[in-house]
Chain A
Amino acid sequence: MTLAIKASGLAKAYGDVVALNGIDIEVEQGTVLGLLGPNGSGKTTTVRILATLLQADSGSATVGGFDVATQQDDVRSVIGLTGQYAAVDEYLTGRENLELFGRLFHLSKFDAAKRAAELLDRFDLTDAADRGIKGYSGGMRRRLDLAASLIGRPNVLFLDEPTTGLDPRSRQGMWEVIEALVADGTTVLLTTQYLEEADQLADRIVVLDHGNVIAQGTSDQLKSQVGGDRIEIVLENVSDISRAAELIKEFGSAPATTEDVTKTVLLPVAGGSTAIVNIVRKLDENKIAIADIALRRPTLDDVFLSLTGHATEVNEENSAPAKGRRGRKARS
């Protein structure tokens, strides 16, 4: 196993505020690590330290085998960074931006132009290549920003909340681009506060809260920490709730919980789909009307809630798209 990123005991404080409390991170070559956590959990601080933008107070880290504190130039020549804000020049065109960064990567004039054209084409920006960035949409800016971070063909790519503030369609587009990069063998460290995004893109997930790693593993491992599948049954009549819970308990792996307001019975189960059939039959035999029944796999929201005792606490200013999406996902 080759580690593209290895950090141990990284700590950083801003005055009295502890941003990172000694975290360990390992990312294998060619895989995607999702750093998941609410605002202020230390995600961006981690990325900034690994990308040589910030000096850790203590701990050490290597990226691509190079020490981030003592071999900054080497680290910078193997990484790409896409931050939360599109880090491009507003007044230049897309092509001029990419050529500028190519030149600063010490590509020859010819190679910089060639690489810029390649990336513009790959990110579907050729038509807008010679227009100023000011006229680009949010999604186009992010794509250009990502293209800029790929100028030097990095082995390790840091994506700091790459889809924050994007509409669902642009987000889907970014995901596809990121997936294609990973397929080419790029190692990616992705930070996100969208649980869905980590679920979709990351091979492994590290959950941060207040500068500490509170959990890590694959998405499935994290989900199994909060229990397996559940069956959610919505009844027509609230008066049937306790009788229904009693009738179906034999199919569950743990006692059912009920919610009067939503007329819902939740039953943890081991074998999902067979249980559904049994439950439907049983309730039907007893003339209990079902409005809706579904198998629920736990979401990362549930994981976060059970690990921290609080929800993800996404900040209001950034949360509008996140809340909407998460809300839909939880009910869908």
Chain B
Amino acid sequence: MSTLTSQSVTESTAPRPRFGWLITDSISVSRRHLLKITRVPESLFFALIQPVMFVLLFAFVFGGAIDVGPNGAQSYREYLIPGILAQTVMFAVAGITVGITEDASKGIMDRFRSLPMRPGAVLTGHTLASLLQNILVIIILSITGFAVGWRIHNGASDAALAYLMFATFAYSITWVGAWIGLHMPNSEVAGTAGLAWIFPFTFASNIFTPVATMPGWLQPFVLWNPVSCLALAARELFGNPTPLLGDSFPERYPVQLSFAYSFLLLAIFAPLAVRAFKTRNK
């Protein structure tokens, strides 16, 4: 009879999972990633050096050849900076893809999954840490932009909205990176695959050159590309040159569309990534 008793399933005694745990667990996990940045400052350095290089190269090397406004090179620099901010936000996604794949291959993911923590917190913590790093990079890039002649012409509230828009989009798009990372076999593959999809979205956009300079068959993609919307919206909000193609929907409502894209990406990829995390290797 005693065996019979021990076979029966015990009533749950653990405290019921609370939503508050998702928050505290996320903070613990993001703290881990932020500590990691302080241990390997090189990673932050190279995350910064690349966009700064792009600013300098495009501002001084290619800038003169691309006509976006009446003031020549100066107009181009103003046009360029919002584009570089959008590009930076995109490229940062590759980092989280590699990071998540690396965690998964090293066994620490198993440790997390064997703890009574909220499973989603492993991802929310990682994406939050990535957002904080992104914000830092955006600030430093803005300062660099200011140094090469970029200016904010509209009011502080428009500028604040632009930065909020970048942060929102940056956070949402990292979930795409997390989702991809959970499907990669190892960090080498994650390194290439994590960048591969970013290139067409980043370069088939208006971030470096106006849409009008591109072939007609490509223009619809470029116009609706979230990266273009983000850059165009930021240019409008900062009061930078916005050479428009026509009056298509994405050119009329870039700010609204950017936020819509952000929420849509988050709504699709956050649940997908959490599900992939829970079922990975099951």
Contacts and interface: CB of A to CB of B under 8 A. Distances in A.
Nearest to B119: A72
Nearest to A52: B114
Interface string B1-26: 01100111110111101000100110
Contacts of B32: 89, 92, 96, 100
A233 interface: no
Interface string B32-51: 10011001100000000000
B206 to A, nearest CB: 38
B111 A87 contact: yes
Interface stretch (B89-97, B102-110, B136-144, B195-203): B102-110
A90 B102 CA distance: 11
Interface stretch (A75-83, A182-190, A278-286, A312-320): A75-83
A110 interface: no
A294 interface: no
Contact of A91 (B8, B17, B36, B282): B36
A62 B114 contact: no
Contact of B107 (A3, A54, A74, A86): A86
Chain B contact-residue range equals 35 or more
B110 A83 contact: yes
Interface in A56-71: 62, 64-67, 71
Contacts of B17: 73
Contacts of B282: 53-55
A71 B9 contact: yes
Given A53-B281, A54-B282, A101 B12 contact: no
B252 interface: no
* Secondary structure dominating the interface of B: helix
B216 interface: no
B117 interface: yes
A250 B7 CA distance: 52
Nearest to A80: B114
Interface in A37-56: 48, 51-55
A230 interface: no
Nearest to A158: B114
A90 B99 CA distance: 12
B116 interface: yes
Contact of A74 (B14, B24, B109): B14
B183 interface: no
Interface string B226-240: 000000000000000
A90 B117 CA distance: 21
Contacts of A3: 3, 6-7
B25 A104 contact: yes
Nearest to B10: A65
Contact of A73 (B3, B29, B116): B116
Most buried by A among B3, B108, B121: B108
B36 A1 contact: no
Contacts of A85: 106-107
Interface in A96-150: 96, 100-101, 103-106, 132, 148-149
A223 interface: no
A262 B281 CA distance: 49
B113 interface: yes
A53 B113 contact: yes
B7 A66 contact: no
B31 A100 contact: yes
Contact of B14 (A51, A73, A90): A73
Complex A-B, nearest 10 residue pairs according to Cβ-Cβ distance, in ascending order = A65-B10, A87-B111, A87-B107, A85-B107, A76-B116, A104-B117, A103-B28, A81-B114, A77-B116, A3-B6
Given A74-B14, A89-B108, 5 more contacts: A55-B282, A76-B116, A80-B114, A91-B40, A104-B115
Interface of A: 1-3, 6, 48, 51-55, 62, 64-67, 71, 73-74, 76-77, 79-81, 83-92, 96, 100-101, 103-106, 132, 148-149, 152
13 contacts: A1-B3, A52-B114, A53-B110, A53-B113, A73-B14, A74-B10, A76-B115, A87-B106, A87-B108, A87-B110, A88-B111, A91-B35, A101-B111
